[in-house]
Chain A
Amino acid sequence: MSCPSVDRLYDDLDGALTGAEKESVERHLQSCESCRRARAVRGRIAGAAADLPPFEVPPDFAAGVMAGIAALPVPAAKKLHPGLVWTAAAAAAAGAGIGLGMILAGAGSAAWLSRNRSRVRSPAPQRRRLLAKGGKLPLLGRKNHPRSLPRSSRIPAIDGRNPRAGRPGRSHRRNSGHLDFRRRIPAPPTPRFGENA
């Protein structure tokens, strides 16, 4: 068996080992001189510490403590000051009132919503999809709004198609009336030689 740890030797001295553990340590100590010495040294220190003489208490120590206590009021479970009680009660009542008000307001809002559900606009399908993907909705500020753009910058209708109506799934900016240079505008037919314009 390998040498037991110092911690284990202390446990042995404290009597904290179980029967089998103690037996194993004792068996090892019979054959290991260094462990025997280590245990003996630690045992001597612990024994000397336990044998240190107690402090000699003066006979009048308790009387001195009691004299000090005589000057103190009798300790009792602390009673709340009446003013403090009223303050606490008022605070509790105010808190209850606020809570009740919040509940009533919540109930009122829910009732109004249930009555006017049809009037509450739900997000457009495109925006709903964007929201579902966790994306951020583009700002719909005054600057970006198609109607806020000057009339001159709007693309005129070509071939009866509305150029402002972008393909689904494109960004807001693409649909907002800005000039889109990627959209090819067909060139006017060039007159052939001999043909009358």
Chain B
Amino acid sequence: MPEDKRSSGSDDPKLVRRCLRGDRKAFETIVLKYQQPMLNYVSRMVREREMALDVSQEVFLRAYAALPSYRSQYKFSTWLFRIASNYLIDHWRKKKITAISLDQPLDDTEDGCTLQVADETASIILEMERKELRLRLEQAMDRLPVHLKELFVWRHINGMSYEEMAEIKKLPVGTVKNRVFQAKEMMRGLLEEMP
């Protein structure tokens, strides 16, 4: 994945120090910087626009309250995404929403998280094909087990490296690579099964 999808985090420790001195504006800078990758991740995990917004907001609030526990030797994004991942796990435990079964029929309606796409000047057919592929991809992603889906989203939508994902999940890099491989192969199988 291109690295330019990720924003540089070199000034994050400075922003955190400013926050701890009571500068709330510094935290707003952090929110503005990470709201897009956070919502890209959370929206793919919860699949409901309003819930994605609520969860992301809660994650930022938790991160703010936990700022004293952040250590500057670690990447801020890694720390933030770990909070988000743990929050989602707790959220599913409370709601008793487990991984979606592979036997569950696909939901054909394009509801939930509506992702607005910029208008393209390409031909209508090409656009329809792209939309179709995206829809199928989103549907196939929904059928992945949660632990694989999360890694797939981080890798292919958030553009994270295997090392970053391993640090967030506190897993060996080899395990993460293996799980991403599983997720990709499962996605391929699901897409091929679709009519």
A→B interface (CB under 8 Å): 6-7, 10, 14, 41-42, 45-46, 48-58, 61-62, 64-66, 68-70, 72, 74-78
Contact = CB atoms under 8 A, between A and B. Distances in A.
A75 B68 contact: yes
Given A45-B137, A54-B40, A75 B157 contact: no
Nearest to A74: B22
Contact of A77 (B20, B57, B184, B191): B20
Contacts, number: 106
A53 B157 contact: no
Quick one: which of A48, A61, A75 has the most chain B CB within 10 A?
A75
A137 B31 CA distance: 75
- Interface of chain A: mostly helix, strand, loop or mixed: helix
A124 to B, nearest CB: 59
Contact of A52 (B66, B115, B184, B191): B115
Interface residues of B, number: 46
Given A50-B1, A65-B31, A75 B181 contact: no
A76 B16 CA distance: 11
Nearest to A46: B156
16 contacts: A10-B181, A41-B188, A45-B137, A45-B187, A50-B157, A51-B130, A55-B115, A57-B39, A61-B35, A61-B57, A65-B57, A66-B31, A74-B22, A75-B20, A75-B68, A76-B68
Which 5 residue pairs are nearest across A and B when measured between Cβ atoms? A49-B156, A55-B39, A55-B43, A75-B67, A56-B116
A183 to B, nearest CB: 73
Contact of A78 (B68, B113, B117): B68
B137 A48 contact: yes
Given A53-B115, A74-B24, 9 more contacts: A10-B181, A46-B156, A53-B117, A53-B134, A54-B36, A55-B40, A56-B115, A65-B57, A66-B27
Nearest to A41: B188
Interface in B18-42: 19-20, 22, 24, 27-28, 31-32, 35-36, 39-40
B57 A68 contact: yes
B20 A76 contact: yes
B182 to A, nearest CB: 11
A57 B57 CA distance: 12
Interface in B78-123: 113, 115-118
Contacts of B130: 51
